[in-house]
Amino acid sequence: MSDTIEGMTKEIIMCITDYTEKGDIGKNDGFKIVEHLKSQSQELKSKEEEIDTLEDNHDKLLKDYITDITSLKKRIESLENKINTPHFGDFNEALKVEMAHHLDRWGDESLKYPAHFQSVISYISGKLIKAIWNNDIKKYEHHLITIAAVCGTAHKYLMDENTMSAKWFNKKFQKLLNR
């Protein structure tokens, strides 16, 4: 038995031809069946070619997708390494990276009150003093940048009226005005 559509069609045509020659079916019926099978065979062959083309396109798209995902993973890893490594030297660049690190590490802090940011600054100030005592300029510089990043984050949330920091001050300010 043949595995291809074309091969199976040829076998069927031979079988019908045999039946026609034996007189089991009429000659005209046999020709109609053969013509119909040839037509169906062409349609099936055309569909088979379409499927092959679709499979080829699918394989290419899948390969491109995997390449894109791999590239994106490498990019994410590179960015994560950048923001999770303390930067030194250029204060403004180091500050941007440190603020990105805080956002990555702590997420949205819009529900935190002003006292939270102050307590973080106090904690890091203690680490800053320890770096002074240990004469560790790298840690000292990093803690300065970290304090600045916390101040920047606190300021960002203070300026957004939908955050707890802004609401806290608006609430306290309103109470002062009502006295």
Domain coordinates in residue numbering, the chain: 5-79, 87-177
Going along 4-136, which residue ranges are E strands? none
pLDDT of residue 46: 82
Output the pLDDT for position 77: 84
Q: Are 33 and 54 in contact (CB under 8 A)?
A: no
pLDDT of residue 75: 85
Q: List the pLDDT tens digit at each of the 179 positions of the chain.
A: 446 666 776 777 777 776 666 666 666 666 666 676 777 777 778 888 888 888 888 888 888 888 888 888 888 888 777 777 777 788 888 888 888 888 888 888 888 888 999 999 999 999 999 999 999 999 999 999 999 999 999 999 888 888 888 888 887 666 665 66
Picking from 167, 26, 178, the residue whose alpha carbon sits closest to that of residue 110 is 167
pLDDT at res. 1: 45
- pLDDT the model gives residue 170: 80
Position 151 scores a pLDDT of 94
Task: Give the number of other Cβ atoms within 10 Å of residue 165's Cβ.
Answer: 25
- Residue corresponding to tokens 């939270």: 116
Residues across the chain:
179
| Reported pTM | 0.56
- Return the SS3 of 134: coil
* Angle, alpha carbons 97-103-109 (nearest 5°): 140
